[in-house]
Structure 1
């Protein structure tokens, strides 16, 4: 694995190089600012970067802006970005994750913590490289959007404010747990009859459907600070940070109105009937460690349960109507 470390402190860069090189078969390129980092990437013979380690406070373009720049590049939309910074204020953490950071470590560096995070990133990089070794579609006339996509598979919805990938959401909530999540809450939305919609759509249509629903959820939460991630299976997990305790039923209605306003269609012009159900709101006050990750899972399951309940109630309604008509 090859890493690019970006920090304006030479001592930190030297420490990272020593730690990484002596604790795995990895290599490191060092850059002292964002401009230097982009210059490294621009070199025609540059080794591909598997992971970025980025400081926030740097002269000129700071680490958060660099993170945005990296995420705007096609070749680094999925590359892990680990923020390694002295900035421990929550506002910086929120901005970093919103900009596309995968994880966040505060200085002074805990060596075991850093090595543990790099080990996890190594596993992610290895898994992605293995996936990329699947048969090449370029010689078959197929496009990337023709590749199989499992219904349960999470993917990152890009270019929507507040959307981050699911791994980043887990890292964010774990970090916030260590800093005491006073007033925070997690809940989820699940698309009704997602199995039926998945069967009827191409990969491109399905990804557009997920993106449109994500946009509607963002509109529904626009008055409150939030982060959202698509967790797969038609379910979106949301975190709100300002002590707000939403009415899940009223919020689902608001999101469904936004979906209707957007107007969703299949590629052949047929209107697409899409609605969501919202699960229980789970407060994160006093939760810590694994219990915060458990809260994400509970929110996910609650939304899917509510979606199934709605479908069952609808089925029973039509069964009752059929009995009456006879």
Structure 2
């Protein structure tokens, strides 16, 4: 794994090099600013598998750098881990919205960094495997191909508040129990997702899920929220808890937004997505529900509604 680290503190970069070397990651390039990082990333002679970005830097912040990296075709899906000494979760949320996959705190803990980079390595291996399959299929048939399974939680980036499933779970884990109590977890099930998947190819399926994501994003606009596609035609959202949250209203707004695509989908021979909104789930102070279980409960609630309508 070739890593690019960006931090304006040369002492920290030396420490980071030592920590990464100790856990087996010796192929590291370090720079001191966002502009230097972009110059390296634009150089066709260099290729990086993972980026470590400090959030708080003078000039271009790590969040702005992350946003610019995500706009680069060659690094649109490259794993990005943010590094921060700040305790404010607002900056972490902005980083995830900009396209970050994960984050770690300063001072760097060797075990935590090793765990994060092992996850990054798994992500890179999976994306390389998929790219290999897509390249082979494209060569065989002469057409652009996106190889995606129905269960796969592919990353959808067309809507502003949509992040990857891994990033959403990592964000939830950063909140801690008290802050998590201030959030609700809500799931959305495309009831006819399997029919849509069978009626089109990988590109058409992802485009359809992206339209659903945009509809959900618009329906939640009155609430601070983050959304992720979880696979199987399901989305999970975290929303700031408010007494006036109305799932029926959210359902109506999603249906209204998707109805605009009715004629297009009819012409393409693709079923119009039918979305069901599950019951909002809350983390209790004393129940100690784990984040993965909270997400699973939200998805199960949406599935029940999809199967009973």
Report deviation, 1:108: 2.4
Report deviation, 1:75: 1.3
> Paired residue for 1:89?
88
Structure 1 residues 163, 244: CA separation in 2 closer, same or farther (over 3 Å shift)?
farther
Structure 1 residues 83, 51: CA separation in 2 closer, same or farther (over 3 Å shift)?
same
List alignment gaps of at least 5 residues for structure 1: 311-326
Report deviation, 1:271: 7.4
Report deviation, 1:243: 3.6
Query: Does residue 24 in structure 1 map to residue 24 in structure 2?
Result: yes
Structure 1 residues 128, 295: CA separation in 2 closer, same or farther (over 3 Å shift)?
same
**How many residues are paired up?**
308
Deviation digits for residues 211-231 of structure 1 (CA, Å, limit 9, x no counterpart): 111111111000111000011
Q: How much is the aligned-residue C-alpha RMSD, in angstroms?
A: 2.2
> Paired residue for 1:254?
253
Q: Is the 8 A contact 1:180 1:288 kept in 2?
A: no
Instruction: Find the residue that maps to 1:96 and give its secondary structure.
Output: helix
Where do residues 299-318 of structure 1 align in structure 2 (5 Å cutoff)?
A: 299-310=298-309
Deviation digits for residues 275-325 of structure 1 (CA, Å, limit 9, x no counterpart): 211112101243798711210111112212210111xxxxxxxxxxxxxxx
Q: Based on CA coordinates, which of the two structures has the bigger radius of gyration?
A: 1
> Paired residue for 1:316?
none
**Rounded Cα–Cα distance in structure 2 between residues aligned with 1:265 and 1:271:** 9
**Rounded Cα–Cα distance in structure 2 between residues aligned with 1:77 and 1:242:** 32
Instruction: Find the residue that maps to 2:78 and give its secondary structure.
Output: coil
> Paired residue for 1:104?
103
TM-score when normalising by structure 2: 0.92
Report deviation, 1:45: 2.1
TM-score when normalising by structure 1: 0.87
Where do residues 237-316 of structure 1 align in structure 2 (5 Å cutoff)?
A: 237-244=236-243, 246-263=245-262, 265-266=264-265, 268-269=267-268, 272-286=271-285, 291-310=290-309
Deviation digits for residues 232-287 of structure 1 (CA, Å, limit 9, x no counterpart): 11111010024456332332122112211344623844574322111121012437
> Paired residue for 2:38?
38
Report deviation, 1:98: 0.4
